[in-house]
Amino acid sequence: MTSKNRIRAWEITSESNYLNRRDFLRGSGIALGGALAATALPRVAEARPPELETVAWPGSTDEAPNSWEDITTYNNFYEFGTAKEDPYRNAQDFVTRPWTVRVSGECDRPGDYAYEDIVKPHTLEDRVYRHRCVEAWSMVVPWVGFPLGDLLKRFEPNSNAKYVAFKTLYDPDRMPGQRRPVLRWPYREGLTIEEAMHPLTILSVGVYGREMPNQKGAPMRLVVPWKYGFKGIKSIVEIEFTQRRPRTSWNMSASREYGFYSNVNPEVDHPRWSQARERRIGAGLFAPKQPTLMFNGYGEEVAHLYAGLDLRKNY
């Protein structure tokens, strides 16, 4: 997707004309109808997250974002259960303050950093990304965050830092899904240093101008829009700069199915399903699928990161 096809985040409607921007950052959602409405989730008493002061950023898709309901009730977050509605049901009482992130490895400024110290120096920007997962479904999500690279530079990685590894909180008392050996907890993810520093990679702290809902990965999560959704590790508590490629949770669990790079690639099928087409959440159960785009449409910006790699072998 080229920059000429992009429109500004504040020009993309939904969530009541995207909350009227100051009020386009406040308001209620309009349902896009279809799949989620049909599931009729029982209502949970959910306090809407506090609002964030944000500035507009030229968006990355001309498609309308999904509704607040779509985005917050249909999620993959196995720490709170494996069904799509489990995080919405089970994460409401998850407490995310205080929150500390440990930074370590090949950098000159390691240490334990409070959430406030991480977020405060950065301008929070609205970025409307098309967010995909490997189950052949997708959403358009108006994330609020800032480039991850801007944060990582503060820790002064040295020349040995070839990769960046991340870990999710491990706390089975607060995260009931971790009581089952679905994965090797805690959840782990990683990027090359070039991927982590790319300006499209963001550390997201909110959605639709509000602080991140618990079920989406509060208080902070990774968003890498040209990769499949499981690369977007949630509730981050550790960042480590490494010389060697870090192990990642889904690759450890099923290496034949989930590679380290996990770039959106319609030409490479998952062993158990095709990834050539996808269905947008909210479009309806019988809506036709649409073609999946290479690198999720961001090839012009990110393809150079993989020059010389066979993307069928390096999946």
Q: CA 7 → CA 3, 11, 59, distances in Å?
A: 8, 7, 6
Phi, psi values for residue 7, rounded to 5°? -125, 165
Say yes or no to pLDDT of 59 above 80.
no
Residue 43, domain member (yes or no): yes
pLDDT of residue 8: 38
Mean pLDDT (whole number) for 62-85: 94
17 pLDDT band, cuts 50/70/90, is very low
Mean pLDDT (whole number) for 250-275: 93
CB 59 within 8 A of CB 217: no
286 pLDDT band, cuts 50/70/90, is confident
Q: How many CA atoms within 13 Å lie on the side-chain side of 18?
A: 25
- Give me 217's structure tokens: 């990965």
Mean pLDDT (whole number) for 275-280: 91
Residue 315, domain member (yes or no): no
pLDDT of residue 140: 94
Cα 119 from Cα 122, distance rounded (Å) = 6
pLDDT of residue 3: 38
Residue 313, domain member (yes or no): no
For residue range 161-181, list pLDDT tens digits in order.
999 999 999 999 999 999 999
Q: How many CA atoms within 13 Å lie on the side-chain side of 263?
A: 23
For residue range 97-152, list pLDDT tens digits in order.
999 999 999 999 999 999 999 999 999 999 999 876 545 689 999 999 999 999 99
> pLDDT: is 238 or 289 the higher one?
238
Query: Any idea what the CATH number is for the domain that residue 117 is in?
Result: 3.90.420.10
pLDDT of residue 133: 58
The boundaries of the domain holding residue 245 are 3-306
- Secondary structure, 3-state, the chain: CCHHHCCEHHHCCCHHHHCECCCECCCCCCCCCCHHHHHCCCCCCCCCCCECCCEECECCCCCCCCCHHHHHHCCCCHHHCCCCCHHHHHCCCCCCCCCEEEEEECECCCEEEEHHHHHCCCCCEEEEEEEEECCCEEEEEEEEEEEHHHHHHHCCECCCCCEEEEEECCCCCCCHHHHCCCCCCCCEEEEEHHHHHCCCCEEEEEECCEECCHHHCCCCEEECCCECHHHCCCCEEEEEEECCCCCCHHHHHCCCCCCCCCECCCCCCECCECCCEEEECCCCCCCCCEECCHHHHCHHHHHHHHCCCCCCCCC
pTM of the predicted model as reported, rounded to 2 decimal places: 0.87
pLDDT of residue 56: 78
Residue 124, domain member (yes or no): yes
Residue 159, domain member (yes or no): yes
Say yes or no to pLDDT of 12 above 90.
no
CA 22 to chain CA centroid, Å, is 24
Say yes or no to pLDDT of 35 above 50.
no
How many structural domains does the chain have?
Answer: 1
Say yes or no to pLDDT of 26 above 60.
no
pLDDT, the chain, mean: 86
Lowest mean pLDDT of 60-74, 152-166, 299-313, name the range.
60-74
pLDDT of residue 195: 98
27 pLDDT band, cuts 50/70/90, is very low
For residue range 194-214, list pLDDT tens digits in order.
999 999 999 999 999 999 999
For residue range 209-248, list pLDDT tens digits in order.
999 999 999 999 999 999 999 999 999 999 999 999 999 9
Residue 314, domain member (yes or no): no
